[in-house]
Amino acid sequence: MAIKQILWLTVFLLIALGLVWLQLSINREVVSDITVLNPEGKAGSALVAYHPGLSDFMQTVTLAFTDGLIASDWRVELTTISRETPAELADYDLLALGVHTYWWAPDAPTRRYLKRLGDLADKPTAVLLTALGQAGRSGAKTTALIEEHNGELAKLLTLYTLRPNDDDNPSRPNREVAVEMAFKAASELVGLGAD
pLDDT, tens digit, 9 for 90 and up, residues 170-179 = 777 787 887 8
**Taking 70 as the threshold, does the pLDDT of residue 110 lie above it?**
yes
Question: Sign of the CA dihedral 141, 147, 150, 151?
Answer: positive
**Taking 90 as the threshold, does the pLDDT of residue 58 lie above it?**
no
**Taking 70 as the threshold, does the pLDDT of residue 38 lie above it?**
yes
**Taking 90 as the threshold, does the pLDDT of residue 62 lie above it?**
yes
**Single-letter residue type at 178:** A
Question: Sign of the CA dihedral 36, 42, 43, 45?
Answer: positive
What is the spatial distance between Cα 28 and Cα 112, in angstroms, rounded to a whole number?
11
Stronger pLDDT, 65 or 161, i.e. the higher one: 65
> What is the average per-residue pLDDT within 92-98?
91
Reported as a pLDDT band with limits 50, 70 and 90, residue 26 is low
Which residue, 149, 191, 165, is CA-closest to 64?
165
Q: Are 125 and 94 in contact (CB under 8 A)?
A: yes
> What is the average per-residue pLDDT within 172-187?
83
Per-residue confidence (pLDDT) for residue 195, from 0 to 100: 46
**What integer best gives the mean pLDDT of the chain?**
81
Which H or E element spans position 36?
strand 35-37
Which residue, 106, 95, 145, is CA-closest to 129?
106
**Taking 60 as the threshold, does the pLDDT of residue 41 lie above it?**
yes
> What is the average per-residue pLDDT within 23-38?
76
Per-residue confidence (pLDDT) for residue 20, from 0 to 100: 65
Q: How many CB atoms lie within 10 A of CB 94?
A: 25
- In the chain, what percentage of residues exceed pLDDT 70? 87
The pTM of this model reads: 0.80
Q: Are 145 and 114 in contact (CB under 8 A)?
A: yes
Q: What is the CA radius of gyration of the chain?
A: 19
